[in-house]
Amino acid sequence: MRGLLHIFLILFPFLVTSQKSQLIQHVTIVDGTGRKEFKGSVRIAGNQIVGIGKLKPYKNEKVIQGIGLTLAPGFIDSHSHHLNDVLEHPDAISTANQGVTTVVVGQDGESVPLITLISQMNKTPVAVNIASYTGQSSLREQVMGSNNLLRAATQAEIDRMKVLLKKDMENGSLGLSTGLEYESAFYSTRDEVLQLAKVAKESNGRYISHIRSEDITMSDALDEIIDIGRKVKLPVQISHIKLAKKGDWGKAQQIIELLEKARKEGIDITADVYPYNFWNSTPRVLFPKRDYTNLESSKFATQELFEPSESYLVKFAANKNYEGKTLSEIAKSRNETEPVALMKLIELSADFRKNNPTYSGTVEAIMGKSMQDEDVCKFIQWKHANICSDGNAGAHPRGYGSFTKILGKYVREEKALTLEEAIYKMTGLTAQHLGIKDRGTIASGMKADLVLFNPKTVKDNASIRDSHALSDGIEMVWVNGELIFKGKKSTGRRSGTLIKRINE
Ligand SMILES: [Zn+2]
């Protein structure tokens, strides 16, 4: 199909010019396939790329001069929580400022039905593309009730979830997502997940998972996702791969070897990763056994699972004074040890929930410093890992800076990746991991999602202190052929579309 279009465009370029084409001229092109950068120009018309190479402007054609700048496919964020932000702020500055043109939502087991998403996007056009998985926890909530999730589902309930999932797949979902570490899914059995993954597979979908443990039982959790890939024979992806237990630090290479072994066996297992050594979640994940009142478990958490003096409470509805403080500071102010304070915070939040049953915001969130930079870097470098943000427009800087941090820190400063490798991990490889065929590379016939940036200056500025600071060096961003972002500002165009799974 793409080949035919390509021939058509070579034979009848004048037909394209009538579609008001634009030429991005004299740029360095990093095309998203991983191949070496080269100089040239790129022509876009309508929502497509229609030419690439040594191109001269047509008469009266709009020309964008890109001397000294690099043109890449728009970045694809394979694990994003930006949906609410993008719907509330359709200019999508949080993603566009880092060069992201597609966000993939419905992560960690939580999604809105595709049919709802479609009507939301019809009502509110947005500047970036959105694709979504179907979340297992959301299926559980619909079928079992949101207050009844701390148990395994019955077979009858699983059967009802399968029907809902099938419907969502038909509406364009990319596949099944799970957040097995969270209470809403933690008590589901492996068999439940397996049965649902089979439904995703029947529609040529995929499986993406925040695995059941990123710390004390991580090897079981890895075994589970590998087993699903083996038995269901669908592509499986580990969300935001990390080693979040101090005792496991330095073992990234071992994990990669385990995953490579599974790949040799024929299992299509991949991962995404974000470039930070701290996460953002509920403090309850620090109790892998869900025993929130066990002092020994809390001691273990403060010693092994996070660094209390570098971990900030970013949301705490029960006492706003604690927001922005580290757990160590809070413990000190309460005259408690860190383990006691950690348990107390969870208790205070539980009380808050009980007393405010209609409260719909986030009750508590902590940025937990749990990882080691060397492991983060190893995972970023893994051949089968693509870049994600795991972010939203919240307190964690990853929501505004993940992709530009890769280009500034990991490419230019540390040379941990070549520019071509990094772009591939943000575009072409990611599209493969999602089953998106018409985005992720610069070639004739591909959709015109593009980012023009300065490789010498590009960098993230978002930090814990200022998590919404915009990146430097992202000059222009196009989505479906329309310029949505220029000079750190929205252009007001809202050309994002819903990307549906291709059923082939
Ligand atoms: Zn997650």
Sign of CA dihedral 212, 218, 224, 225: positive
Residue 485 Cα to ligand 1 middle (Å):
28
Cβ–Cβ under 8 Å, residues 76 and 427: yes
Residue 156 Cα to ligand 1 middle (Å):
28
Cross-strand partners of 326: 312
Q: Which domain holds residue 240?
A: 75-280+370-434
In this structure, the answer to whether residues 205 and 269 fall within a common structural domain is yes
In this structure, the answer to whether residues 104 and 233 fall within a common structural domain is yes
Q: Is 101 helix (H, G, I), strand (E, B) or coil?
A: strand
In this structure, the answer to whether residues 392 and 425 fall within a common structural domain is yes
Residue 116 Cα to ligand 1 middle (Å):
22
Residues 6+ apart with CB under 8 A from 243: 214, 218, 249, 251, 252, 255, 371, 372, 375
Q: Is residue 15 part of a domain?
A: yes
CATH code of the domain in which 217 resides: 3.20.20.140
Q: Is residue 503 part of a domain?
A: no
In this structure, the answer to whether residues 108 and 170 fall within a common structural domain is yes
Residue 390 Cα to ligand 1 middle (Å):
7
In this structure, the answer to whether residues 332 and 320 fall within a common structural domain is yes
pLDDT of res. 15:
53
Q: Is residue 196 part of a domain?
A: yes
Residue 365 Cα to ligand 1 middle (Å):
13
Residue with tokens 């959301």: 138
On the 0-12 / 13-18 / 19+ scale of CB atoms within 10 A, 227 is middle
On the 0-12 / 13-18 / 19+ scale of CB atoms within 10 A, 324 is middle
In this structure, the answer to whether residues 201 and 102 fall within a common structural domain is yes
Residue with tokens 């800076």: 401
Quick one: tokens of 232? 């269901």
Residue 209 Cα to ligand 1 middle (Å):
8
Cα Rg, the chain, nearest whole Å: 23
Quick one: tokens of 378? 């190893």
Residue 281 Cα to ligand 1 middle (Å):
8
Number of structural domains (the chain) is 3
- At CA 427, angle to CA 424 and CA 430, rounded to 5? 95
Q: Is residue 500 part of a domain?
A: no
In this structure, the answer to whether residues 217 and 261 fall within a common structural domain is yes
Residue 80 Cα to ligand 1 middle (Å):
9
Q: Is residue 497 part of a domain?
A: no
Residue 207 Cα to ligand 1 middle (Å):
14
Residue with tokens 């566009």: 96
Pick from 349, 369, 389: which residue ends a domain?
Answer: 369
Residue 107 Cα to ligand 1 middle (Å):
7
HEC string of 207-227 equals EEEECCCCCCCHHHHHHHHHH
In this structure, the answer to whether residues 18 and 152 fall within a common structural domain is no
In this structure, the answer to whether residues 337 and 211 fall within a common structural domain is no
Residue 178 Cα to ligand 1 middle (Å):
9
Q: Is residue 498 part of a domain?
A: no
In this structure, the answer to whether residues 361 and 275 fall within a common structural domain is no
Q: What is the DSSP string of 387-438?
A: E-----SSSSTHHHHHHHHIIIIIIIIT-SS-HHHHHHHHTHHHHHHHT--S
pLDDT of res. 17:
46
Cβ–Cβ under 8 Å, residues 204 and 211: no
Pick from 369, 386, 416: which residue ends a domain?
Answer: 369
CATH code of the domain in which 63 resides: 2.30.40.10
Residue 397 Cα to ligand 1 middle (Å):
16
Q: At residue 114, what is the residue type?
A: L
Residue 370 Cα to ligand 1 middle (Å):
14
Residue 177 Cα to ligand 1 middle (Å):
10
Q: Is residue 30 part of a domain?
A: yes
Residue 110 Cα to ligand 1 middle (Å):
10
Per-position pLDDT tens, the chain of length 504? 455 656 655 555 555 545 689 999 999 999 999 999 999 999 999 999 999 999 999 999 999 999 999 999 999 999 999 999 999 999 999 999 999 999 999 999 999 999 999 999 999 999 999 999 999 999 999 999 999 999 999 999 999 999 999 999 999 999 999 999 999 999 999 999 999 999 999 999 999 999 999 999 999 999 999 999 999 999 999 999 999 999 999 999 999 999 999 999 999 999 999 999 999 999 999 999 999 999 999 999 999 999 999 999 999 999 999 999 999 999 999 999 999 999 999 999 999 999 999 998 899 999 999 999 999 999 999 999 999 999 999 999 999 999 999 999 999 999 999 999 999 999 999 999 999 999 999 999 999 999 999 999 999 999 998 999 999 999 999 999 999 999 999 999 999 999 999 876
In this structure, the answer to whether residues 247 and 375 fall within a common structural domain is yes
In angstroms, how far is CA 479 from the centroid of its own chain? 18
Residue 162 Cα to ligand 1 middle (Å):
22
On the 0-12 / 13-18 / 19+ scale of CB atoms within 10 A, 352 is middle
In this structure, the answer to whether residues 52 and 182 fall within a common structural domain is no
Residue 69 Cα to ligand 1 middle (Å):
34
Residue with tokens 């022509």: 43
Q: Is residue 304 part of a domain?
A: yes
Residue 74 Cα to ligand 1 middle (Å):
23
On the 0-12 / 13-18 / 19+ scale of CB atoms within 10 A, 413 is exposed
Cβ–Cβ under 8 Å, residues 213 and 220: yes
